[in-house]
Amino acid sequence: TQLLEQSPQFLSIQEGENLTVYCNSSSVFSSLQWYRQEPGEGPVLLVTVVTGGEVKKLKRLTFQFGDARKDSSLHITAAQPGDTGLYLCAGLGSSSNTGKLIFGQGTTLQVKP
Amino acid sequence: DTGVSQNPRHKITKRGQNVTFRCDPISEHNRLYWYRQTLGQGPEFLTYFQNEAQLEKSRLLSDRFSAERPKGSFSTLEIQRTEQGDSAMYLCASSPGLAGANEQFFGPGTRLTVL
């Protein structure tokens, strides 16, 4: 069974601070997606990483896929209150025919003004 | 709005009752997924449709759960004889089914509360 471990589970920081969220597994994933979810809403796709070592930037967010495609990280620079939410990583198994995603348990981020 | 839609957004029911949820995927997305999410956790896969064919079901999907996608467009998820443990957010996602990353786009979810 493929699992994704996210850390930390909770993060409370002040506006302007930097942070990194990690997503780790012992399994290889074909691709990895990062989502952000607000309370009472569905996850919204932020980015997809496919190639080992790939780095993608989305404004103040930087996403990296590990060289071996077993781990990923999300770095936020100068966090703002609008970044508050649940961040989820989700992997597509390398042997998956159906495309089902395996999710980490999520990181709840609170950015205080 | 051309995103994934789900109805109802909230459902409160008494234990033992049956409930049905509907998902309308993005037009022409041939892949449709159902996930369940409990508080403080990431979504867990329930079932997958390619067009109208249900091709995979999780062991989480007990025999009280049934899902359909009769014409390969919208899908329904029915839970019979609901239990308090069924309380969760039920999420639907669709994907165009292109080779590669299989990006999935989620609906707003249906929050089920079983009293």
Q: Which of A71, A46, A60 is nearest to A16 (CA)?
A: A60
Give the model's pLDDT for residue B4: 96
In chain A, % of residues over pLDDT 70: 96
Contact list in A for residue B35 (CB cut-off 8 A) is 101, 103
**Are A52 and A45 within 8 A, CB to CB?**
no
Min Cα distance B94 → chain A (Å) is 11
- Residue A6, pLDDT above cutoff 70: yes
Find the CB nearest A92 among B31, B102, B106: B102
* Residues of chain B scoring pLDDT < 70: 1, 98-101
Give the model's pLDDT for residue A66: 94
Cβ–Cβ below 8 Å for B41 and A106? yes
Cα separation, A21 vs B52, in Å, equals 38
- Residue A93, pLDDT above cutoff 90: no
Among A44-58, A64-78, B42-56, B93-107, name the one with the lowest average pLDDT. B93-107
- Residue A1, pLDDT above cutoff 90: no
- Residue A2, pLDDT above cutoff 80: no
Query: Coil, strand, or helix at residue B28?
Result: coil
Cβ–Cβ below 8 Å for B106 and A44? yes
Give the model's pLDDT for residue B102: 76
Min Cα distance B15 → chain A (Å) is 22
Hey, what are A42's tokens? Answer: 């569905």
First-last CA distance in chain B: 33
Report the DSSP beta bridge partners of residue B93. B33, B106
**Are B13 and B115 within 8 A, CB to CB?**
yes
Cα separation, B36 vs B92, in Å, equals 9
Q: Buried b vs exposed e over B83-98: b needs ≥16 C-beta within 10 Å?
A: eeebbbbbbbbbbeee
Min Cα distance A66 → chain B (Å) is 16
Averaged over A93-105, what is the pLDDT? 83
Q: Which of A105, A33, A96, A58 is nearest to B43 (CA)?
A: A105
pLDDT 10s digits, B65-82: 999 999 889 999 999 999
**Are B74 and B22 within 8 A, CB to CB?**
yes
Find the CB nearest B56 among A41, A98, A103: A98
pLDDT grade, residue A102 (50/70/90)? very high
**Are B112 and B83 within 8 A, CB to CB?**
no
| Burial of A37 (C-beta count, 10 Å sphere; 0-12/13-18/19+) | buried
Residues shown for chain B:
115
In chain B, % of residues over pLDDT 90: 79
DSSP string, A13-67: EETT--EEEEEE-SS-EEEEEEEEE-TTS--EEEEEE-STT-EEEETTEEEEE-T
Give the model's pLDDT for residue B1: 55
